[in-house]
Amino acid sequence: MDFKPKIIGFLCNWCSYAGADLAGVSRIQYPPNIRIIRLMCSGRVEPYFIFEALKSGIDGVIIMGCHPGECHYMTGNYEAEMKYQLLKSLLTYVDLDNRISLEWVSASEGIRFAEVVTNFTNSIQKLGPSPLKKIDKDSELLFNLNALQIAANDYRLRALIGRKRKILDEGNVYNKKYPKEKFEDLQETAIYDEYQKNRIILYLKKENLSVKDLSERLSIAPNKILEYIVDLRGEGLIDLKDIQELTPYYTAKQEA
């Protein structure tokens, strides 16, 4: 019962921060766990910020922006939503997805702000302390989280997310609206692949490993690992290190 969650709230200046102010003016009480970081727009929320927060042991992160269609910068909250969906998918792999949340709160929703914060705080309270709170540097969780963080910053995922709205809502380069379900399947596959590829890179940064070694560590069939190895070599991110008996060993390029 002693657990007091630490929560970060990223709030846009124009709606949610004003909503939080209104909760204050109206003296609506809510749990004191949240630390608010004001940004001009929820679209400013960089996926990296959330990883940094989680790695530093924060128990929960909530992003709040203007309701859809009401963004002070026209489309910033849509950008935020796209990025949030990406984060949510990424974090399922390490079971941290339920520690982040995205909510729309307007300047007149003081009560709603307090409710959102209360509910989120309660849900984090139920989840218990973040597993990253007391963790040693070599833990698998941190290792995986690092892989996800790199994946989040990778061009492939950023390009998909960055163009998602255009492709789905406005029309792609062929002036066609791409089917949402298909896009989401593609996005999920991309997320999974990028995650595993970055895990491979991180393992290979520590030591030289073979396909079979990697298969064991990642619990992925060796044929699939090989596919990734081919990709990564093609992308110039890993190199063949040496061959011992019949088995090739790989290493990551330091700049990768």
Q: Show contacts with another protein in window 156-185 (CB under 8 A).
A: 158-159, 161-163, 166
Of 39, 124, 209, 238, which lies in the binding site for another protein, with binding defined by CB under 8 A? 39
The reply on whether position 203 binds another protein by CB under 8 A is: no
Considering only 43-51, 121-129, 212-220, 236-244, which stretch makes contact with another protein by CB under 8 A? 43-51
C-alpha dist (Å) from residue 94 to 34, 63, 215: 23, 20, 18
Candidates 3, 40, 206, 244; binder of another protein (CB under 8 A) is: 40
Q: Of the candidates 81, 96, 101, 109, which one interacts with another protein according to CB under 8 A?
A: 109
Chain centroid to CA 22: how far?
30
- Looking only at the bridges linking them, the beta strands covering 7-12 and 34-39 are parallel
* 29 touches another protein (CB under 8 A): yes
Paired with 36 in beta bridges are: 9
What sections of the chain are H helices per DSSP? 16-25, 47-55, 76-92, 110-127, 140-153, 155-165, 180-206, 211-218, 222-234
Q: How far apart are CA 183 and CA 194, in angstroms?
A: 16
Which is closer to another protein, CB of 52 or CB of 227?
52
Asked whether position 112 contacts another protein by CB under 8 A, the answer is yes
Task: Supply the minimum distance, in Å, between the C-beta of residue 138 and another protein.
Answer: 21
Q: Which residues pair with 63 in a beta bridge?
A: 10, 102
27 binds another protein per the rule CB under 8 A:
yes
28 belongs to the binding site for another protein (CB under 8 A): yes
Whole-number Å distance between alpha carbons of 249 and 229: 11
Contact range with another protein by CB under 8 A, out of 111-119, 182-190, 206-214, 215-223:
111-119
The residue type found at 150 is I
**3-state DSSP helix/strand/coil % of the chain, to nearest 5:** 55, 15, 30
Q: Which residues bind another protein (CB under 8 A)?
A: 6, 8, 13-15, 17-18, 20-32, 35-41, 43-49, 52-53, 56-58, 66-67, 69-70, 72-76, 79, 83, 106-112, 114, 153-155, 158-159, 161-163, 166
